[in-house]
Amino acid sequence: MTHAQDPNDALFDHARALIPGGVNSPVRAFRAVGGTPAFITRGQGAYLWDADGRRLIDYVGSWGPMILGHGHPAVLEAVHRAVDQGMSFGAPTERESELAEEIVRHMPAIEMLRLVSSGTEAGMSAIRLARGATGRSKIVKFNGCYHGHADALLVKAGSGLATFGHATSAGVPEVVVQDTLVLEYNDVAQLEEAFALHGAQIACVIMEPIAGNMNFVRASIPFMRAARELCTKHGALLIIDEVMTGFRVALGGAQSLYAKEIAGFAPDLTMLGKVVGGGMPLAAFGGRREVMEQLAPLGPVYQAGTLSGNPVATACGLATLREVAQPDFHARLAERTRALIAGLARAAADEGVALCGDSEGGMMGYFLLPELPGNYTEVLQSDGARFNRLFHGLLERGVYTAPALYEAGFVSSAHSAGDIEETVAAARAVFRQLASA
Ligand SMILES: Cc1ncc(COP(=O)(O)O)c(C=O)c1O
């Protein structure tokens, strides 16, 4: 007997014949959680629809950009208008400066910036710039932080602080990662020791201020302060990767939150992506003027891009930023996100499931752990099998969350109180099953 295939399964089979793993970015393949990925046919507001015709409440938001939900009218109008004027010119347009001005207005540490097309490009370019500006080669990153897939960043810690990293991907020669030092997040003593050993050779420290690639882990205030002070003392640049947090956790990004706690706090360079492009391929890096002026054509550090500052992408980003800059936008978004985390925590407690969560603005994370983890080693203590059951239980009930334990979640301004209630009710039913298993 033959069975008619579900549309999602049929589409996945077709894609797998043509595209490695059936996906154009690995986490979409559901390898961590098992099963067939939902093939999305359309999005509107807080919802996605998949090829099986299911409506899903979307907490992935294209992995962060969709802070206004899908199909926001002001964004659509700006994009339609831009498309009518032309798709790409490879020449400067006024809108690039308008977008740059909007970014600089909200992030005073950025005096100049350059637009690129992905967070990976922003990270790769920021590191090259830091190396060029300092004349040094070593970089410091933290275990569990992701800054894109540039070769020098696909690395795991070596043994001890004297040895540098090992490549985590085939195709990355060891020589390319031998200048990358990988340290534990939130470990001040280790960072101090690394600077004591290598300070004069370190070009930059790169970090996620709230690490969304280990679900949701905040840099502690002492850790952020130490990173800033050590970089300043040793002449290294501090690169804050706000690809995920920029315009998402606050209008001024995570750096504005740290600046409230640490007098005079500012990164030397900032990476932006996701929300800044509103769902189009657009990202940026920027910072202190004298550092940015090291870039070609002014300076000796080369960096370029055919589609950089694309007119349709800049229209989308600009319309999105103008919406998120409305009074109280982030306060309302934060309240809704907190309501979700509080609802999940209450439902889990009622059902006897250990769960803790945290959020900032429209970014959130929850763990099937009794306490919030502070670094990647602690995140790894989560029970992956239980997480996968939670993920699939939610998906079966129409709630779409990231298909991997190590990913942050995102709430948009389109999520209503009713959506949050529906989500918590779905989660409660899954928690009950988890508790009785
Ligand atoms: C913090 C952070 N930096 C950089 C990147 C890379 O961005 P992209 O996927 O646009 O290359 C990501 C992507 O998820 C990210 O979360």
Per-residue pLDDT tens digits for 276-294? 999 999 999 999 999 999 9
> pLDDT by residue (tens digit) across 32-48?
899 999 999 999 999 99
Atom of ligand 1 nearest to the CA of 120: 11
> How many Å separate Cα 152 from the centre of its chain?
19
Q: How far is the CA of 244 from the centre of ligand 1 (A)?
A: 7
Q: Residue 201 has what pLDDT?
A: 98
Q: Residue 107 has what pLDDT?
A: 98
**Best probe residue, ligand 1, of 213, 255, 272, 308 (max atoms within 8 Å of C-beta):** 213
Average pLDDT over residues 197-222: 97
Q: Residue 145 has what pLDDT?
A: 96
> pLDDT by residue (tens digit) across 120-166?
999 999 999 999 999 999 999 999 999 999 999 999 887 777 667 88
Annotated active-site positions, please?
146, 241, 274
Could you tell me which of 226, 222, 244 has the C-alpha nearest to residue 236? 226
Phi-psi region for residue 331, left (φ > 0), alpha (ψ -120 to 50) or beta? alpha
When the pLDDT of each residue in the chain is averaged and rounded to a whole number, the result is 96
**Cβ neighbours of 85 (radius 10 Å):** 12
Confidence tier at 4 by pLDDT (50, 70, 90): confident
**Best probe residue, ligand 1, of 60, 146, 210, 285 (max atoms within 8 Å of C-beta):** 146
CATH class of 73-324: alpha beta
The structural domains of the chain, with segments of one domain joined by +, span 7-71+327-436, 73-324
Q: How far is the CA of 281 from the centre of ligand 1 (A)?
A: 11
Average pLDDT over residues 217-224: 98
CATH class of 7-71+327-436: alpha beta
Atom of ligand 1 nearest to the CA of 63: 14
Q: Is beta strand 202-207 parallel, antiparallel or unpaired with respect to 138-142? A: parallel
Q: How far is the CA of 316 from the centre of ligand 1 (A)?
A: 18
**Which residue's CA is the nearest one to ligand 1's atom 4?**
147
- Between CA 307 and CA 88 the distance in angstroms is 7
pTM for this one? 0.97
**Which residue's CA is the nearest one to ligand 1's atom 16?**
244
Indicate the range of 1-10, 49-58, 200-209, 321-330 predicted with least confidence: 1-10
Q: Which residues are near ligand 1 (CB < 6 Å)?
A: 63, 118-120, 123, 146-148, 208, 212-213, 241, 243-244, 273, 283
Q: How far is the CA of 122 from the centre of ligand 1 (A)?
A: 9
- The Cα-based distances of 79 to 4, 246, 282, 314 in angstroms read 39, 21, 13, 9
Q: How far is the CA of 25 from the centre of ligand 1 (A)?
A: 11
Atom of ligand 1 nearest to the CA of 274: 10
385 by DSSP, 3-state: which?
Answer: helix
> Could you tell me which residue, 166 or 230, shows the higher pLDDT?
230
Q: How far is the CA of 366 from the centre of ligand 1 (A)?
A: 20
Torsion angle (degrees, nearest 10) of CA 129, 130, 133, 135 = -120
Q: For residue 154, give the DSSP letter.
A: S
Strands, E assignment, 103-216 = 112-116, 138-142, 155-156, 166-167, 180-183, 202-207, 210-211
Could you tell me which of 46, 10, 90 has the C-alpha nearest to residue 412? 46
**Best probe residue, ligand 1, of 23, 244, 272, 307 (max atoms within 8 Å of C-beta):** 244
**Which residue's CA is the nearest one to ligand 1's atom 3?**
147
Q: Quick one: tokens of 201?
A: 């050779």
CA atoms 423, 425, 430, 431: torsion sign: positive
Q: DSSP readout, 39-78?
A: PEEEEEBTEEEETT--EEEESSGGGTT-TT-BT-HHHHHH
Fold agreement (7-71+327-436, 73-324):
no
> pLDDT by residue (tens digit) across 324-338?
999 999 999 999 999
CA atoms 174, 406, 237, 292: torsion sign: positive
Locus of tokens 């995102």: 410
Amino acid making up residue 420 = I
> pLDDT by residue (tens digit) across 247-268?
999 999 999 999 999 999 999 9
Q: Residue 344 has what pLDDT?
A: 98
**Best probe residue, ligand 1, of 154, 247, 274, 280 (max atoms within 8 Å of C-beta):** 274
Confidence tier at 1 by pLDDT (50, 70, 90): very low
The answer to whether residue 12 scores a pLDDT higher than 80 is yes
> pLDDT by residue (tens digit) across 339-354?
999 999 999 999 999 9
Confidence tier at 3 by pLDDT (50, 70, 90): low
> pLDDT by residue (tens digit) across 355-393?
999 999 999 999 999 999 999 999 999 999 999 999 999
Average pLDDT over residues 169-197: 96
Amino acid making up residue 119 = G
Buried-state track 138-152, b at ≥16 Cβ within 10 A, e below 16:
bbbbbbbbbbbbbeb
Q: How far is the CA of 148 from the centre of ligand 1 (A)?
A: 5
Residue 434 neighbours by CB under 8 Å, 6+ apart? 351, 353, 386, 389, 390, 393
